[in-house]
Amino acid sequence: PTLIKKLGIYDQFGQSGTGDQLLDEYGLRAKDIVAKVKENM
């Protein structure tokens, strides 16, 4: 079987802000996603 890890926004109230602020808040920048992928390899 293939192990699947979820990336994204967990069950919480949303935040308001600029696009850049929200990418930082939720760890959705490319560098953050790459780090998570490397953790799970």
Q: What is the DSSP string of 13-31?
A: ----S-HHHHHHHHT-SHH
Q: What is the pLDDT of residue 40?
A: 85
| pLDDT tens per residue, range 1-41 | 888 888 888 888 888 999 999 999 999 999 999 999 998 88
* Secondary structure element (H or E) that encloses residue 3, with its range: none
Q: What is the pLDDT of residue 9?
A: 82
Which residues, 6+ apart, have CB-to-CB distance to 41 below 8 Å? none
Q: What is the pLDDT of residue 22?
A: 94
Which residues, 6+ apart, have CB-to-CB distance to 27 below 8 Å? 33, 36
Number of H helices, E strands in the chain: 2, 0
Q: What is the pLDDT of residue 1?
A: 85
